[in-house]
Structure 1
Amino acid sequence: MVKINTVNKTLPGNKRTTSEILPFLDGWLHGQDDRFIKKVKKIFENSAVDERYSFMSPAEVFSLTSFEARNNLYMEQSIELGTECLQGALTKANWTAKDLDYLITVSCTGIMIPSLDAHLINNLQMRQDVVRLPVTEMGCAAGVAGMIYARNFLKANPGKRAALIAVESPTATFQLKDYSMTNVVSAAIFGDGVACALLSSCDDDEGPVILDDSMYHFTESTNLMGFKLTDTGLKMILDIDVPEVIEANFPAIIFPFLERNGLGIADIDHLIFHPGGKKIIHVVESLFSELGKNINDTKEVLRLYGNMSSATVLYVLERMMDKKPAPGEKGLMLSFGPGFTAQRILLQW
């Protein structure tokens, strides 16, 4: 059995409320139409994000900083915060860095070669035979996808331990001279974050068991979400139809996956969903409220931190694990990302 032993998060140093960010919009939108300025501010105010953390200060975010400078900061902070987060998780689990057999890092908001995992191996003095897997280009889905990869490794290698580290800085991808709704909405809902999950196939380690996992790939949908690499950095692609596409496919995503495990939604005690944004939360909440379920922890993570891409679902999972669900209770993890794709994990405490 593969278990999730520990989840840990690390918060970047810059924290601002949405109300504190609004004055920076005046400088960014200077010269734009008054109605457009009011619309942008309303999007921020109604984003369901009250606070967010970032690698960069607001002044740095809303400045004409080069792609190179932003990416350099992304690399520096990723190494520092990734090391801190993994060490914190190991301390919580009472493990050492040399206990790790498999190291997965996920990120999509910057470019780093050698990848983050190589730096973590050096910083924490891991064993020289640790297996490493850097995962990029999966966006928000990578948090759950990385856990699926870890489970596959651990299933094939009993008595081993793995770490998944998600490091994301969506604010570093902000495009100063782009006044499109995609850039506006992205700036309104995204924040930066770092999270780590430790998984194990050792008999003596504790934690909820991963009963099943699965990926669901939407066809003819590569245009819905992603990044375009431009001279000014990573430019967000976010189609307005994403919530509707998710809603249309939701039954096919959820119910067959549960049914193959002999379960229905009534058997699921905890929903651990990636909070893509206010519209997606509304779609998911409307579907599950009719079934007597809630996604309160998902909503609270969005409110307190914003959408942190791949790291976000791990923040939700940490909240759930901190509540110490009763033995036998089940949880369903779900995230969406570029491709378009949905990633699913079934847990039992």
Structure 2
Amino acid sequence: MNSFICAIGTATPPHKIAQMQTADFMATALQMNAEETRKLKALYRVTGIAQRYTVLPDYATTNGEFTFFPNTPDLEPFPTVKQRMGIYQHEALPLSVAAIEDCFTTLEEFDRSSITHLITVSCTGMYAPGLDIDLIQALDLPTTTQRTQINFMGCYAAFNALKVADAFCQANTQARVLVVCTELCTIHFQKYRENDHLVSNAIFGDGSAAVLVQAKPMANQINVALAAFHCELIPAGKKEMAWHIANHGFEMTLSSYVPDLIQKGIKNLTQKLLQHLGIDLTTINLYAIHPGGRKILESIEKALDLQPEHNCFAYEILRDYGNMSSATVLFVLKSLLSTLTPAHHNQPVLSFAFGPGLTLESMLLKVHYV
């Protein structure tokens, strides 16, 4: 028995920053000279990102009148974890609510009191009582709603949330599970000049995605069945992608070797996933791949002999939003679903996401129209 994704909603903060405007901010913040600035802007240009969204207006400030960072040339004293978590607690709720409302508006006369489970996902902030309880109160959901939080798992966390939602639906055919992935990556800007940090600052943005999962599909609309999952670890990449809490925010390690590691492991991962249902890769035309970065998408295409057109939705989301950690693959899936028609019924959708570990997550979906 399959569970079904019946609706996806997304939301972004109000501050849309052009990629090269962010590069200017970073060059100034890092106090770079002309040659260093030239190299930094070259890095920003090749990301495939045109713009990103952030809860912090500071990235668009040209006169140095910051509201979060100190108004000093070197941004000292640099914001602490406490200050960053204060921003997270203030901004995560309205952004999450916006994504959930977007999800609900796609459903006719949806009764939100029918929600039985709430799963919140984030690797960029936490507090307690947490976002889950704030959402129950803000949305007037039943106080009996069962709550689960999935924290600090990185870009692949949406897959784990969907696995948990699927388990709830398998156990209870009346379950209606709301999954909310909210990431405020830009509050964790670090001033280090190492390549890992320069790349992280160049690709991550803020966003939220909400998904309704239930045991039964919605009538007269496109649903997607959760058909199979498969996860692999590549221990050799443990140090190549990591996420640590430091005194001045969360610090990302993102090595240039990650695309190569993914390229080496993705084919075996895909074969094991498809074996579950006896499906051949050549029969799949629909893909929802997490755009961890342009090189990661290109590495997957090379390993699986795909064309860039197969990844068109991933490139679109990367261009318009950047990498929003766990929420990103749901943005990609929503974009793909908006193009589907009843004629796509029963067609498979292959999805991937990646994160610390090095973890490779895969998911096979099937388009379902009632």
Name the TM-score, length of structure 1 as normaliser: 0.94
User: 8 Å contact 1:210–1:347 — kept in the other structure?
Assistant: yes
Does 1:87 pair with 2:101? yes
Shift of 1:45: 1.4
Instruction: Give the match for residue 48 of structure 2.
Output: 48
- Cα drift, residue 289 of structure 1: 4.2
Aligned equivalent of 2:23? 22
CA distance in 1, matches of 2:295, 2:216: 40
CA distance in 2, matches of 1:303, 1:291: 18
Distance in 1 of aligned mates of 2:201 and 2:307: 33
Q: Distance in 2 between matches of 1:204 and 1:168?
A: 28
User: For residues 14 and 222 of structure 1, what CA distance do their matches in structure 2 show?
Assistant: 34
Q: Secondary structure at the match of 2:106?
A: helix
- Measured in 2, the distance between the counterparts of 1:40 and 1:52 equals 17
TM-fit CA distance, 1:233: 1.0
Q: Does 1:210 align with 2:226?
A: yes
Aligned equivalents of 2:243 and 2:313: distance in 1? 28
Alignment of 1:30-109 (within 5 A): 30=31, 32-57=32-57, 58=59, 59=61, 60=66, 63=75, 64-94=78-108, 95-109=110-124
The normalised TM-score by structure 2 is 0.89
| Cα distance in 2 between the residues matched to 1:291 and 1:87 | 35
Helix, strand or coil at the partner of 1:319 = helix
Which residue is equivalent to 1:339?
Answer: 357
Matches within 5 A, 1:1-349: 1-30=2-31, 32-57=32-57, 58=59, 59=61, 60=66, 63=75, 64-94=78-108, 95-176=110-191, 178-202=192-216, 204=218, 207-290=223-306, 294-325=310-341, 326-349=344-367
Aligned CA distance change for structure 1 residues 252 and 20 (closer, same or farther; 3 Å)? same
> Residues 346 and 68 (structure 1 numbering): CA distance in 2 closer, same or farther, change over 3 Å?
same
Amino acid at match of 1:327: H
Q: Is the 8 A contact 2:188 2:251 kept in 1?
A: yes
**How far has the Cα of 1:17 moved from its partner?**
1.0
Amino acid at match of 1:45: R
Cα deviation per residue 1:5-56 (whole Å; 9 max; x = unaligned)? 00110111110111222332342232x4543322111111111110110111
Question: How many pairs does the alignment contain?
Answer: 347
Per the TM alignment, residue 259 of structure 1 is displaced from its structure 2 partner at its CA by: 2.0
**Root-mean-square deviation (CA), in Å?**
1.9
Instruction: Report the identity percentage.
Output: 27
Separation in 2 of the partners of 1:294 and 1:202? 29
Gaps of 5+ in 1: none
**Separation of aligned partners in 2, 1:288 and 1:300:** 20
